[in-house]
Chains A and B, each alone.
Chain A
Amino acid sequence: MPKNPNVKRVMVIGSGPIVIGQAAEFDYAGTQACRSLKEEGVEVILVNSNPATIMTDKDIADKVYVEPLTVRVLEQIIEKEKPDSILPTLGGQAGLNLGMELEESGFLKAHNVTLLGTTAQTIRNAEGRQEFKDLMERIGEPCAASLVVESVEDGVAFTNTIGYPVVLRPAYTLGGSGGGIAHNQAELEEILENGLRLSRVGQVLVERCIAGWKEIEYEVMRDSMGNCITVCNMENIDPVGVHTGDSIVVAPSQTLSDKEYQMLRTSALKIINELQITGGCNVQFALHPTSFEYCVIEVNPRVSRSSALASKATGYPIAKVAAKIALGFTLDEIKNAITHKTYASFEPTLDYCVVKIPRLPFDKFITAKRTLTTQMKATGEVMSICNNFEGALMKAIRSLEQHVDCLLSYDFSALSVDELKERLKKVDDQRIYVIAEAIRKGMDYDTIHELTQIDVWFIDKIAILVEMEQALKEGPLTVELLREAKRIEFPDNVISRLTGVPEEEIKKLRYDNGIVAVYKMVDTCAAEFAASTPYYYSVFGGECEARRTEGRKKVLVLGSGPIRIGQGIEFDYCSVHATWAFSKAGYETIIINNNPETVSTDFDIADKLYFEPLTPEDVESIVNIEHPDGAVVQFGGQTAIKLTESLMKMGVPILGTKAEDVDAAEDRELFDRILEQTKIPRAAGGTVYTAEEAKEVANRLGYPVLVRPSYVLGGQGMQIAISDAEIEEFMEIINRIAQDHPILVDKYLMGKEVEVDAVCDGTDILIPGIMEHIERTGVHSGDSISVYPAPTIGDAVKEKIADYTARLARALHVKGLINIQFIAIGEEVYVIEVNPRSSRTVPYISKVTGIPIVDLATEVIIGRTIRELGYIPGLQPEAEYYAVKMPVFSFEKIRGAEISLGPEMKSTGECLGIAKDFNEALYKAFLGAGVNLPKHKNIIITVKDADKHEVIEIGRRFEKLGYTIYATKSTAAALNEAGVKARKVNKISQESPTVMDLILGHKIDLVIDTPTQGRDKSRDGFLIRRIAIETGVNCITAMDTAKALVTSLENASKRLTLVDVAQL
């Protein structure tokens, strides 16, 4: 069926800010789909509150609204833009829910807007728990049997029909307390009795326990004719019980026979057919490990994280095809963009093995529980490709950038066999390392399998890696042993550590014997057809399919690896834009990256894509083939910057700012010299290695001081210390990871934090704008609300900032981008930090000013000047719009994480509020971040003594807005004394009703809680904040944020003005 001629203007809903569970994959999918729609001549109206995305670029969509994703806003946009259709299946769960609300309210019908892709009924059938269960039953597809019971007798009777074990989940208890798994009637009776008592409504869900079953996923496509294919299947190494986003996943499935594979495939096709999905869909199964019994866990009738992974794993562009299907095309009409010979109705087949490992944020949330459950906690992931599983696992491990490079990277050697057994029962992110240690200690496969339920096949593969460790340790390092070690992807540095042979010698031995990485192509078809898209992965041994192409100059663009807190999607935005700019300038572009969720690893972004770890050795192997004319590292965040020195050693010129100048910005002494030379002040400080030295410096400067390691992103390990004891605590935490560079101790200055991004061509400098943070210094810049243009800073200070920026950029010989953070105290400006590279704020400032600074930086790197590019150097005139960048957190996903803000970054994403009026922009930003007030008009305030004075004003303003204020004892006293009416509530430790009961009562809009110093988990404040977050109550931990929020609420207007940023 050809394209539906009625579809001319399509509104696409994005997924909004990046949060755990809904990340960059939707930018990738959305971008690909928008390009696919435009390819067919369709006008695209895009709505997404996340400014750090490529999909919100004016090249991707015709109209771009970076507006809060609420029904009201979408309705307004529909009224204004009058699209004929809406595509809700690209924006994750958020986008899908909004599309459904619009449909169900009748708004779409009233405005003659068609829901494209999948129908509302289909979505209801797939998403509604009961509807889905009923449908599965109707078509004979099994779900895990379950029943809500209100008595022990009913529970026992039901369990007798479905068999033990069963999972028991009491209804309405916090964090699932009172539940458990019962293996026999005695256990069942005990847990059930307790659960029924604990449940507020006296109900417990009894469900057949499928924990420990194999978790298998299928990615399925279906068109409007009913043609179906599976793109890929995937097997989770961690059995059911761990969220697939937190599991190590392998594609294709490894331990399924064709019978099992086809049984589940047939079931997946049956389900997608029955649901009448048009587009992509993900079906998750649990498969009993010792029978053919299976059940359907879940169906996602939209593109998802798994579909992004499947796309990258196979080369099949799911989102692109889904968009074409939405327009009415059938699978057999859509050409496979990789082979140009086959069609989208061809099922990809792999001749390699793909491993995905999640990137978990426990390095950021050190108080959080590392346990993996059905609640996803990963912020990102890495993928690797190899022609053997061991190699793919090794490559994925070293792609993580968590100071791990092999199965010895976490040391469990001190544990006894019994301790290991206990540890193996714990499901966390370190489990594969524990398994490796168990194998080293001689534990047999069956025991490990029994404790972990991980398939023996995977355990054997880990054993193969352990055996290689032993073989290398025992030596001697023969050519044959080395060849085998490289086949399973032991990096040279690990071989060196195990054998004691210097890395350089190992490299020489390899080169002398032809043991070098060769590159194979991802082609969707296992070489059955010639493919034209150069998408490569490395293996050791065999034929190399990658060839250096002659003609154009070649540039290597180093990607930013997995998404983690502190290094998010922004850097992918920069890498992609740089790649496009180089391409426009006539360069051949080569991207190296390992993140399957991103646009940069889409097959048609660069001329060549190497899906590889970003370590010196892996990069060098590519350099040996491609011999690029240069590499750019300034767009790929810290991941790319870290490779600078190695690239120079390989003889690859670094394009743009030179490595020594990057060093000068990071190295304390060199940087101090530059500040002296440019006469720019900064907070006094010193460099230290030990806690003793740190205390000495701190006492010299006077508390409070900032303590942080150098060369880190996102303020990792950064703390404000107020005492010697805290210095000791923080230094101990920092030094848990061996530090290559000294630790910095600075005097803490309190003032307004200001940030600039600028382009420098060596002489001239272009500053698109100055951004001001709402929170005072001490809150990480990534967690602060950032406003452009700076609202409270005078012209003189702005000039000073522009001048300092120019001086610093020149002194550092910056060619390309520079990001500087300042503190403004009165008329004085101090520099905090200089990063001669792209930053988190680049996409946002580019969008709101309309100045494409990554493109300009790339042109400058190539040798053009700012003037040649048609810009007048200096600080650019301020835009007519205020743009407020609001951080968004995922605290509710990480149990036990401290949510109060500080120098270490904690936000996972951001959204933008843009309007002519500052207050409206602020309101939009809060709205975009999910602060949709008022609801009940009840607020709890509990602040530390130092904030008592400031809180009065805030309390008064909330009171005026009609809020009822609850406060803990001393806060209440302070408020009442000042004439602000506050009801006193008891602390958690006191008798009921306490502040906790109040929050659990689900009647509270907001908690304002400023934490006392230190990281004491047991304090009331910590508990209050956690409970608030876990019950979905907005929680603010900084006075400035609270002030901003009340301001925005005072100015909440019913009707928002809409801004098409494509026109800026």
Chain B
Amino acid sequence: MKAFLILEDGTVFEGTHIGASKEIISEIVFNTSMAGYLEILTDPSYAGQAVCMTYPLIGNYGICRDDMESFKSWPDGFIVRELSRVPSNFRSDMTIQQFLDENGVPGIAGIDTRALTRILREKGTMNGMITTNEDYCLEDILPRLMKYTTGKVVEKATCPTKYTIAPTTALEQNGPLSGAARFDRAAYEREKRPALVKSLNGIGLKVALLDLGAKSNISRSLSERGCEVTVYSALTPASEIIADAPDGIMLSNGPGDPKECASVIAEIKKLYDTEIPIFAICLGHQLMALATGADTYKMKYGHRGGNHPVKDLSTGRVYISSQNHGYVVDTDKLDPSVAVPAFVNVNDGTNEGLSYTGKNIFTVQFHPEACSGPQDSGYLFDRFIDMMKGENENA
């Protein structure tokens, strides 16, 4: 079946319909990762957006349910050049076509995704419609596209109630051996050498994770280091979290415009006022900035991919990071007595992280939990653990 992608500026792409049969209006963004489409589809930060994959061959290794970053798919739509008809991976549970159907995600394939990316790059992120209606009427559609906003998506993406994830108590439990042994029993038997996670340095620590639309690997990264993670809904009052007396608070990633989260920001300000160590990622990072008087703005087309270099200003080291954000903290309006830049994007110089003056708080714009993307900055979870243990004041 034919499908159409209609952009706010009137551009129309004709392709083939994929996934669920429904018409959607959404914000169209592109992601430059070459692998990890399932992690992207299940990343709650994409709520309210339709994602275009710039890599043209998608679905090659099917769907490996173990790799889902949340329980369902979040983007409103999925835009690809080509879906593989045969998935090939030993863990694959189903095809991507089945997954899109099952999750009710409509999409379009067979379009010139590079041309679409170039338009978004030049004109900035735009709203668009994916439809199979061949008799679409631009005059009717364009005003509807202009009106669309992602809205209060955090409320949709957060968990309804609080729950706790048990910590790992022995390295073997989460297979913290070499890459192979993490997953393969025979390899596990053969080689008993720790690799990815070197120690259970978080044992005994309780972390409160404020779920703003969190990817699973944030809690996994903490629990596999031995932390007990309690996940709270974004709507939880700060007092409730503080009353549970966690050793540290983690603010997760999440979707949408940070300024839509006025009530959450107010609660985060209360968390800031405590002495509890806080580590925040992506939306959490933006909300902490807003809560403490800084500002955010919308980028022309954001950063979405797994190849952005960020520089740790405390060491001068550069790490390749996983990124997914359309908004960024405005460093021009930063009060150095509150917070100073801790990370910067090497390409465009935008802010990638803040260190809060006189506080045990540090926040990053990128994704140390990776999934999809490089694992280079996973050390930040260790830094957070050190901070909770009081070993690394004002990191």
Residue in B67, B318, B373 whose CB lies within 8 Å of A331: B318
CB closest chain-A residue, reference B198: A140
A293 and B184 contact, Cβ closer than 8 Å, known pairs A255-B60, A265-B374 = yes
Distance A904 CA – B267 CA, assembled complex (angstroms): 83
Distance A528 CA – B120 CA, assembled complex (angstroms): 9
A332 and B309 contact, Cβ closer than 8 Å, known pairs A226-B317, A527-B114 = yes
B103-120, CB under 8 A of A: which get 1 and which 0? 000000000111101100
Query: What's the nearest-Cβ distance from chain B to residue A166, in Å?
Result: 13
Q: Which residues of B contact A530 (CB under 8 A)?
A: 121
Query: What's the nearest-Cβ distance from chain B to residue A662, in Å?
Result: 40
Pair A142/B180 contact, Cβ less than 8 Å: yes
- 8 A-B contacts (beta carbon < 8 Å): A140-B194, A142-B180, A227-B318, A253-B35, A256-B61, A288-B187, A290-B90, A351-B114
Q: Which residues of B contact A141 (CB under 8 A)?
A: 178, 195
Query: What's the nearest-Cβ distance from chain A to residue B180, in Å?
Result: 4
Q: Does B33 contact A (CB under 8 A)?
A: yes
Q: Which residues of A contact B91 (CB under 8 A)?
A: 257
Query: What's the nearest-Cβ distance from chain A to residue B59, in Å?
Result: 10
Pair B67/A257 contact, Cβ less than 8 Å: yes
Pair B305/A349 contact, Cβ less than 8 Å: yes
Q: Does A39 contact B (CB under 8 A)?
A: no
Pair A262/B180 contact, Cβ less than 8 Å: no
Looking at A42-50, A109-117, A338-346, A966-974, the stretch in contact with chain B turns out to be A338-346
Q: Does A494 contact B (CB under 8 A)?
A: no
Q: Does B57 contact A (CB under 8 A)?
A: yes
Looking at B2-10, B77-85, B387-395, the stretch in contact with chain A turns out to be B77-85
A19-57, CB under 8 A of B: which get 1 and which 0? 000000000000000000000000000000000000000
Q: Does B346 contact A (CB under 8 A)?
A: yes
Distance A474 CA – B60 CA, assembled complex (angstroms): 29
Pair B374/A262 contact, Cβ less than 8 Å: yes
Query: What's the nearest-Cβ distance from chain A to residue B55, in Å?
Result: 6
Q: Which residues of A contact B320 (CB under 8 A)?
A: 228-230, 345, 347
Q: Does A225 contact B (CB under 8 A)?
A: yes
Q: Does B246 contact A (CB under 8 A)?
A: no
Pair B86/A456 contact, Cβ less than 8 Å: yes
A460 and B57 contact, Cβ closer than 8 Å, known pairs A291-B187, A292-B180, A526-B114 = no
Pair A294/B180 contact, Cβ less than 8 Å: yes
A346 and B32 contact, Cβ closer than 8 Å, known pairs A257-B91, A527-B54, A543-B118 = no
A827-843, CB under 8 A of B: which get 1 and which 0? 00000000000000000
Q: Does B147 contact A (CB under 8 A)?
A: no
Q: Is the interface of A mostly helix, strand, loop or mixed?
A: loop
Q: How large is the interface on B (under 10, 10 to 19, 20 to 34, 35 or more residues)?
A: 35 or more
Q: Does A1053 contact B (CB under 8 A)?
A: no
Query: How many A residues face the partner with a CB closer than 8 A?
Result: 73
Pair A349/B307 contact, Cβ less than 8 Å: yes
CB closest chain-B residue, reference A458: B88
Pair A351/B113 contact, Cβ less than 8 Å: yes
Question: Which of A227, A388, A527, A528 counts the most B-chain CB atoms under 10 A from its CB?
Answer: A528
Q: Which residues of B contact A269 (CB under 8 A)?
A: 376
Q: Which residues of B contact A350 (CB under 8 A)?
A: 34, 55
Pair B196/A346 contact, Cβ less than 8 Å: no
Q: Which of A218-271 contact B (CB under 8 A)?
A: 225-230, 252-259, 261-267, 269
Q: Which residues of A contact B179 (CB under 8 A)?
A: 263-264, 266-267, 292, 294
Query: What's the nearest-Cβ distance from chain B to residue A268, in Å?
Result: 11
A542 and B112 contact, Cβ closer than 8 Å, known pairs A267-B179, A457-B88 = yes
Question: Which of A228, A330, A345, A520 counts the most B-chain CB atoms under 10 A from its CB?
Answer: A345
Query: What's the nearest-Cβ distance from chain A to residue B264, in Å?
Result: 30
CB closest chain-A residue, reference B112: A542
Question: Which of A292, A350, A464, A525 counts the most B-chain CB atoms under 10 A from its CB?
Answer: A292
Q: Does A934 contact B (CB under 8 A)?
A: no
Q: Does B39 contact A (CB under 8 A)?
A: yes
A511-530, CB under 8 A of B: which get 1 and which 0? 00000000010000111111
Pair A457/B309 contact, Cβ less than 8 Å: no
A295-326, CB under 8 A of B: which get 1 and which 0? 10000000000000000000000000000000
A341-367, CB under 8 A of B: which get 1 and which 0? 111011111111100000000000000
B39-65, CB under 8 A of A: which get 1 and which 0? 100000000000000111100110010
A543 and B187 contact, Cβ closer than 8 Å, known pairs A258-B372, A346-B308, A350-B55 = no
Residue in A227, A254, A331, A529 whose CB lies within 8 Å of B60: A254
A140 and B193 contact, Cβ closer than 8 Å, known pairs A294-B180, A388-B82 = yes
Q: Does B333 contact A (CB under 8 A)?
A: no
Pair B32/A292 contact, Cβ less than 8 Å: no
Distance A254 CA – B33 CA, assembled complex (angstroms): 13
Question: Which of A227, A230, A541 counts the most B-chain CB atoms under 10 A from its CB?
Answer: A227
Q: Which residues of B contact A257 (CB under 8 A)?
A: 35-36, 38, 61, 64, 67, 89, 91
Q: Which of A523-551 contact B (CB under 8 A)?
A: 525-530, 541-543, 545
Pair B34/A162 contact, Cβ less than 8 Å: no
Q: Does A873 contact B (CB under 8 A)?
A: no
Residue in B39, B316, B346 whose CB lies within 8 Å of A346: B346
Q: Which residues of B contact A227 (CB under 8 A)?
A: 317-319
Pair B55/A349 contact, Cβ less than 8 Å: yes
Residue in A254, A294, A543 whose CB lies within 8 Å of B57: A254
A147-170, CB under 8 A of B: which get 1 and which 0? 000000000000001110000000
Q: Does B150 contact A (CB under 8 A)?
A: no
Q: Does A580 contact B (CB under 8 A)?
A: no
Q: Does A926 contact B (CB under 8 A)?
A: no
Q: Which residues of B contact A346 (CB under 8 A)?
A: 307-309, 346-347
Pair A526/B117 contact, Cβ less than 8 Å: yes
Q: Does B186 contact A (CB under 8 A)?
A: yes
Distance A864 CA – B116 CA, assembled complex (angstroms): 48
Pair A258/B307 contact, Cβ less than 8 Å: no
Pair A163/B186 contact, Cβ less than 8 Å: yes
Query: What's the nearest-Cβ distance from chain A to residue B345, in Å?
Result: 10
Distance A545 CA – B117 CA, assembled complex (angstroms): 13
Pair A528/B121 contact, Cβ less than 8 Å: yes
Residue in A264, A293, A342 whose CB lies within 8 Å of B187: A293
Q: Which residues of A contact B30 (CB under 8 A)?
A: 528
Q: Which residues of B contact A263 (CB under 8 A)?
A: 179, 182
Q: Does A387 contact B (CB under 8 A)?
A: yes
Pair A349/B34 contact, Cβ less than 8 Å: yes
Pair B56/A387 contact, Cβ less than 8 Å: yes
Pair A460/B85 contact, Cβ less than 8 Å: yes
Q: Does B311 contact A (CB under 8 A)?
A: yes
CB closest chain-B residue, reference A541: B112
Q: Does A289 contact B (CB under 8 A)?
A: yes
Pair B54/A349 contact, Cβ less than 8 Å: yes
Q: Does A429 contact B (CB under 8 A)?
A: no
Q: Which of B328-379 contact A (CB under 8 A)?
A: 346-348, 370-376
Q: Which residues of B contact A525 (CB under 8 A)?
A: 32, 307
Distance A634 CA – B145 CA, assembled complex (angstroms): 57
Residue in B90, B115, B121, B177 whose CB lies within 8 Å of A291: B90
B294-319, CB under 8 A of A: which get 1 and which 0? 00000000000111110100001111
CB closest chain-A residue, reference B304: A528
Q: Which residues of A contact B60 (CB under 8 A)?
A: 254-255, 457
Q: Which of A667-700 contact B (CB under 8 A)?
A: none
Distance A350 CA – B39 CA, assembled complex (angstroms): 19
A293 and B121 contact, Cβ closer than 8 Å, known pairs A142-B191, A528-B32 = no
Distance A674 CA – B319 CA, assembled complex (angstroms): 68
CB closest chain-B residue, reference A464: B85
A343 and B307 contact, Cβ closer than 8 Å, known pairs A351-B54, A526-B55 = no
Q: Which residues of B contact A265 (CB under 8 A)?
A: 374-375
Query: What's the nearest-Cβ distance from chain A to residue B89, in Å?
Result: 6
Pair B56/A460 contact, Cβ less than 8 Å: no
Pair A255/B121 contact, Cβ less than 8 Å: no
Pair B32/A526 contact, Cβ less than 8 Å: yes
Q: Which of A185-231 contact B (CB under 8 A)?
A: 225-230
Residue in A258, A342, A388, A464 whose CB lies within 8 Å of B347: A342
